[in-house]
């Protein structure tokens, strides 16, 4: 992979990387489409990264379908589907970790300790291996995007981090490989996240004065809990760059939340609340 990237760079080609854990859906394909528009060569990495899963999380169950993923990547004109093995990525004696301290600690980091260290470490390795000019990440994983942006800034990485808006089902459900865990009736329950976004946006639209973020969050928590089987892990309104809680909702605020459906499937979603 590195030799090929070096060759492309030598020919003056630009390279875009789309890092993934596979099990592609329309959201992934949209990221690949954007990569194609922005660069000469598109590399998609496919690696279910063991070090970003905590004990008791879904590493073993994580959906894997290399054959179908290969067809899908080919169908949107990806140049290389790069799928290293865990042994290649983490040879015996591997002991280095990258940690973005504060940004990775709260929100999802609070219930998934070490998760963002695992993400940063693998993304840094993928950058080294594929040498991209730009890398595309979905806004669906908003905290991940903020953490990676900070890592790239703090470590002076010469790769531009590009955000792609969340791709949604017609119902509003944010696309995610983990939606495959949802049974039919749970798809319906999972809509509580999108409904919460719509409710928060309506509240903001209807109010002339700046709204208290705490008031919006408590209304949203109540609203989510009206859906049987749905339990809020966190609902927060944060500054989109620092991920620190906002006191009032403003242009840079992001509603961000994690909800467990039937104690089984953990879903996340987020959105800006003020129309720009």
Residues acting as catalytic residues:
28
Residue 122 C-beta: closest distance to ligand PAF, Å: 5
Residue 20 binding ligand PAF, by CB under 6 A: yes
d(CA 55, CA 33): 34
* Burial per residue of 114-131, b for 16 or more beta-carbon CB atoms within 10 angstroms, e otherwise: bbbbbbbbbbbbbbebbb
CA atoms within 13 A on the CB side of 191: 10
15 or 122, CB closer to ligand PAF?
A: 122
43 or 220, CB closer to ligand PAF?
A: 43
Per CB under 6 A, which of residues 32..91 are in contact with ligand PAF? 49, 52
Structure tokens given for 96? 């280095």
Strand, helix or coil for residue 174? strand
Which one of 43, 80, 123, 246 is in contact with ligand PAF (CB under 6 A)?
123
Structure tokens given for 14? 């630009």
- Residue carrying the six token digits 């939340």: 257
d(CA 236, CA 214): 8
29 or 122, CB closer to ligand PAF?
A: 122
Residue 125 C-beta: closest distance to ligand PAF, Å: 10
Q: Near ligand PAF by CB under 6 A, which window of 14-22, 58-66, 153-161, 187-195?
A: 14-22
Question: 82 to each of 18, 38, 48, 136, 197, how far by Cα in Å?
Answer: 10, 19, 12, 15, 35
8 A C-beta contact, residue 83 and residue 66 = yes
Residue 119 binding ligand PAF, by CB under 6 A: yes
d(CA 192, CA 220): 10
49 or 166, CB closer to ligand PAF?
A: 49
49 or 270, CB closer to ligand PAF?
A: 49
Q: Near ligand PAF by CB under 6 A, which window of 33-41, 93-101, 116-124, 238-246?
A: 116-124
Residue 122 binding ligand PAF, by CB under 6 A: yes
Per CB under 6 A, which of residues 177..206 are in contact with ligand PAF? none
Q: Where on the chain is the footprint of ligand PAF (CB under 6 A)? A: 19-21, 49, 52, 119, 122-123, 141, 144
């Amino acid at each position: 992979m590195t030799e090929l990237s070096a060759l492309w760079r030598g020919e003056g080609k630009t390279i875009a990387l789309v890092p993934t854990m596979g099990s592609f859906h329309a959201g992934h394909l949209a990221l690949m489409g954007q990569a194609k528009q922005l660069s000469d060569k598109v590399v998609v990495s496919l690696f279910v990264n063991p070090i970003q899963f905590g004990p008791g999380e879904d590493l073993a169950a994580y959906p894997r379908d290399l054959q179908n993923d290969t067809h899908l990547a080919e169908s949107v004109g990806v140049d290389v589907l790069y799928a290293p093995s865990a042994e290649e990525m983490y040879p015996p004696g591997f002991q280095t970790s990258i940690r973005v301290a504060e940004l990775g600690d709260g929100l999802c980091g609070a219930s998934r300790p070490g998760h963002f260290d695992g993400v940063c470490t693998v993304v840094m390795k993928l950058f080294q291996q594929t040498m991209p000019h730009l890398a595309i990440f979905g806004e669906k994983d908003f905290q991940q995007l903020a953490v990676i942006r900070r890592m790239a800034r703090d470590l002076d990485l010469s790769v531009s981090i590009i955000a792609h808006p969340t791709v949604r089902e017609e119902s509003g459900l944010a696309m995610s490989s983990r939606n495959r865990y949802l049974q039919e009736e749970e798809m319906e329950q999972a809509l509580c996240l999108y409904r919460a976004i719509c409710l928060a946006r309506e509240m903001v639209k209807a109010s002339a004065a700046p709204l208290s973020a705490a008031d919006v969050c408590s209304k949203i928590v109540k609203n989510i809990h009206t859906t049987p089987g749905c339990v809020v892990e966190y609902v927060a309104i944060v500054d989109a760059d620092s991920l620190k809680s906002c006191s009032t909702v403003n242009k840079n605020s992001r509603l961000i939340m994690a909800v467990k459906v039937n104690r089984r499937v953990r879903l996340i979603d987020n959105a800006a609340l003020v129309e720009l």
